[in-house]
Structure 1
Amino acid sequence: MKNDYSSLDILLKLSSKQQMVNVCQQAFLYRKRGPDHLPEAFIKDISQTLGLSARETRQCVCTLGHLLKTAVFNGSTDPKDIFVIFPAGFHKNLRDLITKIIIDNMDMWKEDSVAVQVSLPKLVDFDWRVDTKTSSDSVARMSVPTCILNLQIQPKAPRIDKTPQAETVNVELSKETLDTMLDGLGKIRDQLASVANR
């Protein structure tokens, strides 16, 4: 089903480019949540500017969100590729402005789209070091090397408008565990290399 983006011509009534950027940001942020989840204060402000009812404004913003989502899904930052999304006869200046906003925000919106997918926590950064643990028993005093991994992990966001803080997880690996892990990673590397060479 193709959306009727020609209804977006009403956005020409917005008073400034910054207001258009704000509308696009909100439309993309709430693109999956439906018209009833848009913030009331935002809808009231835009409704007054556009001269529309709250329901019509919500529908307009959702249509814009669908257009933005389609552009990000296509992933091109070439204006010609984005122009194809708009219907024939769409207002040229408005099309150019929306296209510029899409190009300016493409990287951030792609990252946001990936971040809200159902997935495991994201590895943000890591550090490692080798420590020597000293242990003693009745026979002799021994030094045992261990590898300490410091992982910074960002969990999935609990809400669409919140970015969770990275959490730190420390893992201690003995020499045997590290050897097993490296052997497993080596086998994965070899399997991927054999698939890539086919």
Structure 2
Amino acid sequence: MAATVCNEDFTNLQLLLKAPSKDAVREVCVQSQRGLSQRLTESTAATLGISEAQAAQSLHALSHYVLFYNLSSPEQILAIFPESFHSSLKNLITKILLENSATWRTEALSNQTDSESVSSVTVELSRESLDTILDGLGRIRDQLSVVAGK
């Protein structure tokens, strides 16, 4: 499933113009990637004077898009913003994303591989599905036998 950033997300990101400082924007960006905690949502909403729903989603969507598509240059990130987006805010968000994306990518990968291993998995198939799978495996076996016999 591909990550997407919609126009509403960019509209919500414009609300970062209400932030008291660049450091406040940086903190919101960094904290949004760590997970959407209730504390973060409440503090961001209070800092920016916006609803909690707006505070929770847009930066997270943008940072996931950057990570998903491995955008690693300013030009690549700037290209996803609409033309009408505030120039200084666009540059600041791009800078923050570039500074943190390597760390976020590493954390995402380690979170993927840190899950516990499963000792057994039970799969239920219909008789028809099982027959199809076995037929396919039989064909593969036959093809490998032909190749190995040459």
TM-score scaled to structure 2, two decimals? 0.65
Q: Mind listing any 5+ residue stretches in structure 2 that lack a counterpart?
A: 117-150
Q: Which has the higher helix share?
A: 2
Return the TM-score normalized by structure 1: 0.51
How far residue 24 of structure 1 moved from its aligned partner, in angstroms, is 0.9
Unaligned runs of 5+ in 1: 31-37, 120-155, 159-198
1:157: Cα distance to partner? Answer: 6.3
- Select the residue among 91, 100, 103 that pairs with 2:86: 91
The 8 Å contact of residues 67 and 85 in structure 1, kept in 2 or not, is answered as: no
CA RMSD of aligned residues (A): 2.0
Higher alpha-carbon Rg: 1
Residue 3 (1) aligns with residue 6 (2): yes
> What is the rounded CA distance, in whole Å, between the counterparts of 1:2 and 1:57 in structure 2?
15
**One-letter amino acid of the structure 2 residue matched with residue 82 of structure 1:** I
Q: Which amino acid aligns with 1:50?
A: L
Contact kept? 2:5, 2:65, Cα under 8 Å: no
1:2 positional shift: 4.8
Q: Please give the alpha-carbon distance, in whole angstroms, between the structure 1 residues aligned to 2:51 and 2:58.
A: 15
Q: Which residue of 1 aligns with 2:108?
A: 113
Aligned residues: 111
Bigger proportion of residues as strand: 1
CA contact (8 A) 1:47 1:54 kept: yes
Q: Contact 1:14/1:50 (CA < 8 Å) preserved in 2?
A: yes
Q: How far is 1:97 from its partner?
A: 0.3
Identity %: 30
The farther-off stretch of 76-85 and 1-10 is 1-10
Consecutive aligned runs of 4 or more in structure 1 exceeding 4 Å deviation: none
Superposition pairs of residues 64-103 of structure 1, within 5 angstroms: 64-103=59-98
Query: Structure 1 7/44 Cα, relative in aligned 2: closer, same or farther at 3 Å?
Result: closer
The residue type paired with residue 75 of structure 1 is N
Q: 1:27 to 1:55 in 2, by over 3 A?
A: same
What is the CA–CA distance in structure 2 between the aligned matches of 1:70 and 1:2, rounded to whole Å? Answer: 7
Q: 1:6 is matched by which residue type in structure 2?
A: T
Alignment partner, residue 54 of structure 2: 56
Deviation at 1:79, TM superposition (A): 0.7
- Quick one: higher RCO (CA 8 Å, sep 6+), 1 or 2? 2
